[in-house]
Chain A
Amino acid sequence: MQQLEIMLDAQAIAALRALQVPGRPSILLRVMDLFASSAQALVAELEQALESGDLPTIMRAAHTLKSSSANIGATELAAHSKRIEQCGRDGDLDGCRRHAEGFKPLFDATLVAVAALRGAEAA
């Protein structure tokens, strides 16, 4: 739980829960599922673009990752994505790559936190 709290902002999770209407499918589950599937594809896209030096794709993937992680309260991941996006915007490919170094472990940790939250919610 310690890890979960670090990775996912409790307030954001509370806001998602507040949207829940009793008797309806869990919003939290659906949002987490959507994040898990879309973010993994985006991260793969981002990695490939970093390697090939495709700045526009880097920027756009980082931007989307920024907002979708912010959506579920993954504040750290959102901040990291934002730094990559900013470098991409500035045309600084090296900066993008530098920031990308710590990105993958953070993303994985977030996914673990999301999976944990899903498990807790489903139970």
Chain B
Amino acid sequence: MAHDSQPPVVLVVDDDMAARLMTRIALEEGGFDVLEAEDGIPALDIFRSQKIDVVLLDVMMVELDGFATCAAIRQMPHGQHTPIMMMTGLDDTASINSAYDAGATDFVTKPINYGVLTHRVRYMLRSARNADELRRSESRLEKAQAMAKLGHFNWAIDTGEFECSSEIERLTGVASGTTISTIAPLLACVHPDDRGAVDTQFGNAIAGGESLQLGCRVLLAQGGTAHVHLEATCSTVPETGARVVSGVAQDVTERRRLEGLAHKLAYFDTVTGLPNRTTLRKDLGQALARAVGSDSVVAVFSLDLDNFKRINDTLGRDNGDSLLKTVAERLQACLRRRDGAFGVKANVRAGDFVARTGGDEFYVVLTQFRSAEESAVVARRMLEAIAQPVNLGGEDLVLSATAGISVYPVDGTTADQLIDRADAAKNHAKAEGRGRYQFYTSAINARAFERLSMENNLRKALQQEQFELYYQPKVDIRTGRFTGAEALVRWRHPDLGLVSPANFIPIAEETGLIVPLGEWIISAACRDIAAWRSQGLPDVRVAVNISPVQFAAAELPLLLSKALLAAKLPVEVLEVELTESLLMTDTEQSIAVLAELRALGIDVWIDDFGTGYSSLSYLRRFPIAGVKVDQTFVREMDTNANDAAIVAAVIALARSLNLAVVAEGVESELHLRALANLQCDYAQGYFYSPPLPAAAFARWVTEHRGPLARAI
């Protein structure tokens, strides 16, 4: 089609030069551009190489006549829809028929009325453009419908003529152009369960001349089921009174599937298929709404699996996931057993459900209790169910869980309140020792508040660097010389003053704040050591305490080497103190980290030795420099025979393993002498110095360059 700004191009094909001339003159006068050809062959060449909007074709030509030329143009890809006017004799009906057979658009009889010719050509061009536009809009519609899986149909009820688009053919298996006297052939594709409803609605629509909208399932000829949305109207053609049902149908199967999937992802946990937190809150809210005004109670159980993180890390996520599924099944089984006390296997009561909100956190909501005490029975049953061995990859694993319970209406009236309080009770139970359950009490709440405020204070303290490091010297008992120090963290709160580590370290560990705090301790120690170096002090070996949480969370060797590098310090200036309980929990992993530290050249000491398991076999496996005997034993060793025996045993044990021993809590010469007799290597305590701020410690080091008091 020609651009609007350019005149349409007409190709005139006639072997009569005079006729061409007159045709040209007439057409040019009418605003067309004209190209001429004297025969079919050159006409096809022109058509191939130029954009032609209309062709005027004479029939009788020497080389290639008009019919053959017309047919040849129709064979060309861009010649399919170009309007072609054949110029024939008025009386030559055979030619006119042949012209149409060859694909001509129109014909004009000779002699040609040139005054009218331009109008005929213009009209033909306009219809061609309209047809072109229609074709394109039809193809657009078809594409759009195909994309939307949308189809349309028309059914003339009285004549039975049924016309439809290809999508309807696909859905119904009924071909367009079929005659359908009843709706039965269309109903045949509808799922038997939906057929009755569709039939009724169609019947009503036809009888009442109304519209209908319905959803139904369709059994596809190629197999499978499609969900279809159908809208149709029944109308009467005013002129003829004929009734027509016309409508659209859309295959919404994929949309349904995606909606279902989106719903599932939004409201359910993907691992266990249980409701997630959103659904928990919604369904619990509904259960509470139902409970209002009744005298039944609702119980919310918050459950954690003990040590699940470690299991997950050790056994891998797939095993962890299958463990979570097992727990989910067992909890649900407990719901079913609620009424099973009489030996009847019951269904889950309406309103009761299990939810998983992430990690190893489960919630159970039980409704229609008569008293809160009943829920204790269920809690015990749930913990027992979880404690049954699980076979995972051929190995029996025993789990335990800790639960907290809150009860409507006494502990709260909203879903959020009850969930929070069940959590608080669970955390309290954990602190008391895992594998148990705990009802919520207001005392728990107070503690939770205190904890929360402590947590917030700690966060602020980290931001504002309210922490300080104190240093307590270690002395070689044999030489009496200072050999190093232990770095001890202090929290100087702006209002509370110095806060004891015993008060804030456990909370820092629970909340994970110990990780940034530990990082601060390491880099602060390095900063202090570097400062002392620049003041001309000899290198001070500082031992930093590493919390079990930090040991598990951070890449400790990397963290230490980075801090040393940042302060431009040699590796020997740092040592690490770890509690022995840490090493008991994850042996293989621990040995790997310890070996890495040793390879770096960082000595590791076992802190508080004697208070935990003190297993000889463990000690033997760990690449460590030595142990520190807990100050509680040392302090009492001159008055308490048991303590003295422990200290002696620890020292003997360490010596047998070629480990060095530091005695903490050395407060008197008496202590020192006893330790020397036991061949203890180092001493630390008030006898030499209390823990000192960095500046005071630097002075102490300067003043004690020589040997200190010795036992011998």
Binds B, one of A47-55, A60-68, A100-108: A60-68
Report yes or no: A38 in contact with B114, Cβ–Cβ below 8 A.
no
Report yes or no: B22 in contact with A71, Cβ–Cβ below 8 A.
yes
Q: How many Å lie between the Cα of A12 and that of B443 in the bound state?
A: 118
Select which of B29, B89, B115 is within 8 A of A15 by beta carbon: B115
Report yes or no: B16 in contact with A68, Cβ–Cβ below 8 A.
yes
A-B contact pairs, 15 of them (CB 8 A): A15-B113, A18-B115, A19-B25, A19-B26, A21-B29, A30-B21, A34-B21, A35-B18, A63-B60, A64-B15, A67-B16, A67-B111, A68-B16, A71-B112, A82-B89
B17 CB–A CB distance under 8 Å: yes
Number of A-B contacts (CB under 8 A): 58
A4 CB–B CB distance under 8 Å: no
Name A67's closest neighbour in chain B (CB-CB): B110
B19 CB–A CB distance under 8 Å: yes
Select which of A16, A30, A38, A73 is within 8 A of B16 by beta carbon: A38
- Tell me whether A71 and B18 are in contact in the complex, defined as CB-CB below 8 angstroms, given that A60-B62, A63-B60 are known contacts: yes
Q: How many Å lie between the Cα of A60 and that of B29 in the bound state?
A: 31
Residues of A at the B interface (CB closer than 8 Å) are 12, 15-16, 18-19, 21, 27, 30-31, 34-35, 38, 60, 63-64, 66-68, 70-73, 78, 82
Q: How many Å lie between the Cα of A80 and that of B455 in the bound state?
A: 118
Contacts of B22 in A (CB 8 A): 16, 19, 27, 31, 71
Q: How large is the interface on B (under 10, 10 to 19, 20 to 34, 35 or more residues)?
A: 20 to 34
CB distance from A73 to the nearest CB of B (A): 8
Q: How many Å lie between the Cα of A63 and that of B110 in the bound state?
A: 11
Contacts of B15 in A (CB 8 A): 64
Name B112's closest neighbour in chain A (CB-CB): A71
Report yes or no: B25 in contact with A34, Cβ–Cβ below 8 A.
no
Q: How many Å lie between the Cα of A16 and that of B21 in the bound state?
A: 11
Q: How many Å lie between the Cα of A79 and that of B67 in the bound state?
A: 24
From residue 1 to 47 of chain B, which have CB atoms closer than 8 A to chain A? 15-19, 21-22, 25-26, 29
Report yes or no: A27 in contact with B18, Cβ–Cβ below 8 A.
no
Q: How many Å lie between the Cα of A68 and that of B58 in the bound state?
A: 12
Report yes or no: B110 in contact with A70, Cβ–Cβ below 8 A.
yes
Select which of A18, A19, A63, A71 is within 8 A of B111 by beta carbon: A71
Report yes or no: B19 in contact with A71, Cβ–Cβ below 8 A.
yes
Select which of B19, B25, B29 is within 8 A of A67 by beta carbon: B19
Contacts of B89 in A (CB 8 A): 66-67, 82
Contacts of A38 in B (CB 8 A): 16-18
Q: How many Å lie between the Cα of A8 and that of B493 in the bound state?
A: 124
Q: Residue-by-residue, is B94-135 near A (CB-CB < 8 Å gives 1, otherwise 0)?
A: 000000000000000011111100000000000000000000
CB distance from B429 to the nearest CB of A (A): 107
Name A64's closest neighbour in chain B (CB-CB): B16
- Tell me whether A72 and B18 are in contact in the complex, defined as CB-CB below 8 angstroms, given that A15-B114, A18-B115, A19-B114 are known contacts: yes
Q: How many Å lie between the Cα of A5 and that of B254 in the bound state?
A: 81
- Other CB < 8 Å A-B pairs besides A18-B115, A31-B22, A82-B89, 17 of them? A12-B111, A16-B22, A16-B114, A19-B114, A19-B115, A21-B29, A31-B18, A34-B17, A38-B16, A64-B15, A64-B60, A67-B19, A67-B60, A67-B89, A71-B16, A71-B112, A72-B18
Q: How many Å lie between the Cα of A50 and that of B573 in the bound state?
A: 127
Q: How many Å lie between the Cα of A83 and that of B110 in the bound state?
A: 16
Q: How many Å lie between the Cα of A82 and that of B89 in the bound state?
A: 10
Report yes or no: B18 in contact with A34, Cβ–Cβ below 8 A.
yes
Contacts of B113 in A (CB 8 A): 15
Nearest 10 CB-CB pairings of A with B: A70-B111, A34-B18, A63-B60, A68-B16, A67-B110, A35-B18, A68-B18, A19-B25, A71-B19, A34-B17
Contacts of A34 in B (CB 8 A): 17-18, 21
Contacts of B21 in A (CB 8 A): 30-31, 34
Contacts of B115 in A (CB 8 A): 15, 18-19
Q: How many Å lie between the Cα of A60 and that of B60 in the bound state?
A: 7
Q: How many Å lie between the Cα of A12 and that of B111 in the bound state?
A: 9
Contacts of A30 in B (CB 8 A): 21
Contacts of A82 in B (CB 8 A): 89
Q: How many Å lie between the Cα of A51 and that of B19 in the bound state?
A: 28
Q: Residue-by-residue, is B488-526 near A (CB-CB < 8 Å gives 1, otherwise 0)?
A: 000000000000000000000000000000000000000
Report yes or no: B60 in contact with A68, Cβ–Cβ below 8 A.
no
Q: How many Å lie between the Cα of A56 and that of B111 in the bound state?
A: 22
Q: How many Å lie between the Cα of A19 and that of B25 in the bound state?
A: 7
Name B113's closest neighbour in chain A (CB-CB): A15
Question: Which of B16, B19, B110, B115 lies at the interface centre, i.e. has the most chain A CB atoms within 10 A of its CB?
Answer: B16
CB distance from A70 to the nearest CB of B (A): 4
Name B90's closest neighbour in chain A (CB-CB): A70
Contacts of B112 in A (CB 8 A): 71
Question: Which of B19, B110, B111 lies at the interface centre, i.e. has the most chain A CB atoms within 10 A of its CB?
Answer: B111
Name A31's closest neighbour in chain B (CB-CB): B18
Contacts of A70 in B (CB 8 A): 110-111
Q: How many Å lie between the Cα of A88 and that of B396 in the bound state?
A: 108
Q: How many Å lie between the Cα of A70 and that of B62 in the bound state?
A: 20
CB distance from A69 to the nearest CB of B (A): 9
Q: How many Å lie between the Cα of A29 and that of B58 in the bound state?
A: 24
Contacts of B26 in A (CB 8 A): 19
Q: How many Å lie between the Cα of A70 and that of B112 in the bound state?
A: 9
CB distance from B709 to the nearest CB of A (A): 132
Contacts of A21 in B (CB 8 A): 29
Q: How many Å lie between the Cα of A66 and that of B16 in the bound state?
A: 10
Contacts of B58 in A (CB 8 A): 67
Q: How many Å lie between the Cα of A60 and that of B58 in the bound state?
A: 13
Q: How many Å lie between the Cα of A82 and that of B92 in the bound state?
A: 11
Name A57's closest neighbour in chain B (CB-CB): B62
Name B28's closest neighbour in chain A (CB-CB): A21
CB distance from A7 to the nearest CB of B (A): 15
Q: How many Å lie between the Cα of A23 and that of B384 in the bound state?
A: 114
Contacts of A12 in B (CB 8 A): 111
CB distance from A18 to the nearest CB of B (A): 6
Contacts of B18 in A (CB 8 A): 31, 34-35, 38, 68, 71-72
Q: How many Å lie between the Cα of A31 and that of B22 in the bound state?
A: 7
Q: How many Å lie between the Cα of A15 and that of B21 in the bound state?
A: 14
From residue 114 to 173 of chain B, which have CB atoms closer than 8 A to chain A? 114-115
Name A42's closest neighbour in chain B (CB-CB): B16
Contacts of A15 in B (CB 8 A): 113-115
Select which of B17, B29, B110 is within 8 A of A19 by beta carbon: B29
Q: How many Å lie between the Cα of A34 and that of B23 in the bound state?
A: 14
Question: Which of A27, A71, A73, A82 lies at the interface centre, i.e. has the most chain B CB atoms within 10 A of its CB?
Answer: A71
CB distance from B29 to the nearest CB of A (A): 6
CB distance from B387 to the nearest CB of A (A): 108
CB distance from A81 to the nearest CB of B (A): 11
Contacts of B17 in A (CB 8 A): 34, 38
- Tell me whether A68 and B29 are in contact in the complex, defined as CB-CB below 8 angstroms, given that A18-B115, A63-B60 are known contacts: no
Q: How many Å lie between the Cα of A19 and that of B113 in the bound state?
A: 11
Q: Residue-by-residue, is B439-475 near A (CB-CB < 8 Å gives 1, otherwise 0)?
A: 0000000000000000000000000000000000000
Report yes or no: A68 in contact with B25, Cβ–Cβ below 8 A.
no
Contacts of B111 in A (CB 8 A): 12, 67, 70-71, 73, 78
Q: How many Å lie between the Cα of A27 and that of B25 in the bound state?
A: 8
From residue 49 to 65 of chain B, which have CB atoms closer than 8 A to chain A? 58, 60, 62
